[in-house]
Structure 1
Amino acid sequence: MKKLFCSIFGHHFSVSKKVTSHIKEYSCLHCGKQVTTDVSGNLSTLTPELREINRTLEHIYQKRHASHSHPQHQVA
């Protein structure tokens, strides 16, 4: 029934995970379909390969932002 609703009215996506400031994962509130932002900024079905890519990007993004939030003291 929920898939029928989405096939008639379209999906109602909500952000389920923020991977980076530009890449997010979304889930349909009605049928649960999962999508993610691709390299072109379009929504693509969240495959296991894209999920792994997103995990890697998230890890790199978090490491980079953690190092910027704790700058090292420079010795003069």
Structure 2
Amino acid sequence: MLFEGEKVYFCTARDKDFYAQLMRDGNVAVTGMNREYQMIRLRGKARRLDDQKLWIDRIFAENPSMNSVYPDDSRYVLEPFY
């Protein structure tokens, strides 16, 4: 993920059910909790980003551990959203 201003950028693979759901209606929700049991819930409509390669590269720059899952150009099976 990548955070800029009030936007959360994320990606998913085009062959995943989650991708199909996003393309169908765009609704997304994320819930998290920290060690102090403080919770956050984000929900809204996801939108595809136009410059796919640019955003995937930016997301990977902020999350280098993703390189072990999607090395080199295999990362471009992912599609970025905000």
* Smaller-chain TM-score bracket: under 0.3
Higher normalized contact order (CA 8 Å, seq sep 6+, divided by chain length): 2
Greater Rg over alpha carbons, structure: 1
Task: Report the TM-score when normalising by structure 2.
Answer: 0.25
Task: Report the TM-score when normalising by structure 1.
Answer: 0.26
Larger relative strand fraction: 2
